[in-house]
Structure 1
Amino acid sequence: MSTPFLSVSDLRVHFSTEDGIVKAVDGLSFDLEKGKTLGIVGESGSGKSVTNLAILGLHNRERTTLDGEILLDGQELLTASERTLEKLRGNKMSMIFQDALASLSPYHKVGVQIAETYRKHTGCSKKEARARAIEMLRRVGIPQPDTRVDDYPHQFSGGMRQRAMIAMALVCDPELLIADEPTTALDVTVQAQIMDLLKDLQQEFGTAIIFITHDLGVIADIADDVLVMYGGRCVERGTKKQVLSTPDHPYTLGLLNSMPSLDGPVDVPLSPIPGSPPSLLNPPSGCRFHPRCSFAEKVADGLCSAERPALEVAEGRGSACHLTPDQKRELFADIAGTRHN
């Protein structure tokens, strides 16, 4: 069996605050192969972005406790020096942030910002870096890149700024690309264009992609495998088809039931998940989803609130739930998961 390009094992990211320790990520493991896309989905505060900032080494280590292991092509990242991480960031691994306007400097031309990244990692001349910036703007579909390379971010539309961010992230041909909700706040047409662009570029470069989102519709479009996070933990993982067609955890089921169907009856009411995500400063005991789970009462002896369910994974498929397989088949029978596939 081949070694995965990215391997995250028992990752824990805890923040020290005046009120106590925030367990933002609490024992997370997953693997990612080259050329594949892993979709990480969950509500705000589930630990998605925190996980990927840990991979990039962007947490403040003075206030953050990082435990576990992150291997990128065999290289350990959690214990790597800042100098080593600086060489890797933007070069071997890169990230597209959610808010392109906030991520791009308003004081520098777009082309200069893309070229600066390329020069830092290659040591090339300004002329070569500018030519590379124009090439990347053309590759991501920016019209008239020879001219737009000298524009400032505010002169770009939202979709064009996001494309420029993608150009900057890919300028050094990284082997790992982390996309943190890159289509948020874009209209659906531009969203589709960005998704198609990422898939085309992945096919061209063979890049491994981690795609963070709260939108299962986006996951259905781009991901090969899916990891569902809740309360800083993975509650379910599997292939896209497995997770979206036959969910194996009540939280995943709740996410699917809260989404409108494009091909189903328009008058079917949505079923939002009751309650709010847990406080990671003082999380619930046992299964962190149990206070919001409509099936917790089906499990005997209050097991859901007393004991953390193990995430048992076989051939990439598994979930952390105390319900038996027979109970899941009976209780989840009404979901039409295939409408999301």
Structure 2
Amino acid sequence: MTLVPDPPREPFLSVRDLKVHFTTDDAVVRAVDGLSFDVERGRTLGIVGESGSGKSVTNLAILGLHDRTRTTLSGEIVLDGTELLTSRERELEKLRGSRMAMIFQDALASLSPFHTVGRQIAETYAKHTGASRRESRARAVEMLRRVGIPQPTLRADDYPHQFSGGMRQRAMIAMALVCDPELLIADEPTTSLDVTVQAQIMDLLGDLQQEFGTSIVFITHDLGVISRVADDILVMYAGRAVERGTRAEVLRAPQHPYTWGLLDSMPTLRAPVDVPLSPIPGTPPSLLDPLPGCRFRPRCAFTEQVPTDRCATERPLLPRTPAHGAACHLTRVQRTEFHADYVTAQVC
């Protein structure tokens, strides 16, 4: 009996060579510069990087929320066969909320202070489904109950300022999921929350993903959070992807010096208590006039190991294969050896 291999699965969300440039009085800001990644149905992609690396800009482009009069976008964004960059605003409005939704970083700023939480959730449901006011109200209460809001029938009539930070974030999740979207983008949903509420929010997203089969893009700068929620990880730096792989591959065997720095700047239970944290030296480059070649070069300790000054002149690219890879001119053998030495030096 001959076994026929399963055909490769098409990604639910596919981003190819995405560029997002903003025109300013000084110059053009290349906020995202040639980014490619895939998200499979029912899986969570964690996008991690320092502030200003292009994480949120990327996901606003997916939702079509950039001002096209001041933003230049190019490349491809395909959601389940639908090309988003070339879609009209009316078509994107139908997709936003129904097939794709976003949990914004600051729930208090994202929710209207003039309307009750229940009304805002109900309006979203009514707009996309045509449900009656009574049906929409019942749906809003049901979603508040699902995300763990106590006494949802009563709390639906409260305003956002009457909710705690964790409850507002839960209300944002309820609003994002009220129409059962197939793609959920979570933009640092645990920022400014205490660790116990963070854990509750992450558990909630995992439970809802199991229930609805949602694909999730989780944006954060916290690798500790990523280690709990992500199936796959994309590391961004200065508007570009520098490493991609599964959670185990990126966290246990990182291949890029920037990822090493992110991991080594975090406290761990295994490190001696008297060993100070090791921050990444320097600052991210300006995206008004980015450096040629590798943008991490001024902060990298391994550029001298690459011959012919390739780091200064040639842009390193991620492999096109879906396997674990890094955009670095070091060979894979060098990366394995240098990372082992680097970690040893940090501990000793």
The TM-score with structure 2 as length reference comes to 0.95
Instruction: Tell me the alpha carbon deviations over residues 229-285 of structure 1, each in whole angstroms, 9 at most, x when there is no partner.
Output: 001000000000000001100000000000000343222211100011111111111
Determine which of 89, 93, 112 is the counterpart of 1:86.
93
Deviation at 1:48, TM superposition (A): 0.3
In structure 1, the partner of 2:207 is 200
> Which residue of structure 2 lines up, in the alignment, with residue 116 of structure 1?
123
Write the letter of the residue equivalent to 1:270: L
**Which residue does the alignment assign to 1:97?**
104
Aligned mates of 2:54, 2:96 — CA distance in 1: 21
- 8 Å CA contact 1:136–1:171 kept in 2: the answer is yes
**Can you give the 5+ residue segments of structure 2 that lack an aligned partner in the other structure?**
1-7
- State the distance in 2 between where 1:221 and 1:266 align: 24
Counterpart CA distance in 2 for 1:202 and 1:133 is 19
Structure 2 letter corresponding to 1:229: M
Note the alpha carbon deviations across 1:126-181, whole angstroms, 9 max, x for none. Answer: 11000000000000000000100000001000000000000000000000000000
Superposition map of 1:170-319 within 5 A: 170-319=177-326
Mean Cα displacement is larger for which, 313-322 or 127-136? 313-322
How big is each residue's C-alpha offset from its partner over 1:171-211, in whole Å with a ceiling of 9 and x where there is no partner? 00000000000000000000000000000000000000000
Which residue in the other structure is 1:70 paired with? 77
- Pair 1:37 & 2:44 matched: yes
Which of 147, 155, 163 pairs up with 2:162? Answer: 155
CA contact (8 A) 1:257 1:335 kept: no
Task: Determine whether 1:59 maps to 2:63.
Answer: no
Matched AA of 1:326: V
Q: What pairs up with 1:136-155 in 2 under 5 angstroms?
A: 136-155=143-162
Q: Deviations over 1:12-68 (max 9, x none)?
A: 111111111111000011111111000000000000000000000000001111100
Give 2:24's aligned residue. Answer: 17
TM-score, normalised by the number of residues in structure 1: 0.97
Q: How many angstroms apart in 2 are the aligned matches of 1:94 and 1:196?
A: 19
Partner SS state of residue 84, structure 1:
helix
What CA RMSD, in Å, does the superposition of the two structures yield over aligned residues?
1.1
**What is the distance in 2 between the residues matched to 1:31 and 1:316?**
12
Conserved in 2, the CA contact under 8 Å of 1:245 and 1:336?
A: no
Q: Cα offset for 1:335?
A: 5.6
Contact 1:106 1:152 in 2 (8 A): yes
- Kept in 2, the 8 Å contact 1:119–1:125? The answer is yes
Q: Following TM superposition, by how much is the alpha carbon of 1:336 offset from its aligned partner in structure 2, in angstroms?
A: 5.7
Counterpart residue identity of residue 65, structure 2: L
SS of 1:178's equivalent in the other structure is strand
Unaligned runs of 5+ in 1: none
Residue 293 (structure 1) shift: 0.4
Equivalent pairs, count: 337
**Per the alignment, in what secondary structure is the counterpart of residue 102 of structure 2?**
strand
CA distance in 2, matches of 1:288, 1:211: 24
Offset of residue 313 of structure 1: 3.9
Change (3 A) 1:213 1:61: same
Percent identity, please: 74
AA of the residue aligned to 2:68: R
Q: Which residue of 1 aligns with 2:5?
A: none
In 1, Cα distance between equivalents of 2:66 and 2:207: 31
Partner Cα separation in structure 2 for residue 265 and residue 204 of structure 1: 41
Tell me, yes or no, if the aligned pair for 1:257 and 1:270 is still in contact at 8 Å: yes
AA of the residue aligned to 2:25 = E
Q: After the TM superposition, which of the residue ranges 299-308 and 146-155 deviates more from structure 2?
A: 299-308
Deviation by residue 1:72-114 (Cα, 9 ceiling, x = unmatched): 0100000000000000001100000000000001111000000
2:34 to 2, 16, 27: 27
CA contact (8 A) 1:313 1:319 kept: no
What is the identity, as a one-letter code, of the residue corresponding to 1:284?
L
Q: In 2, Cα distance between the equivalents of 1:235 and 1:214?
A: 15
Aligned partner of 1:126 among 129, 133, 140: 133
Corresponding position of 1:48? 55
Write the distance in 2 (CA, Å) between the matches of 1:326 and 1:36.
Answer: 30
- Between 1:310-319 and 1:2-11, the stretch displaced more is 310-319
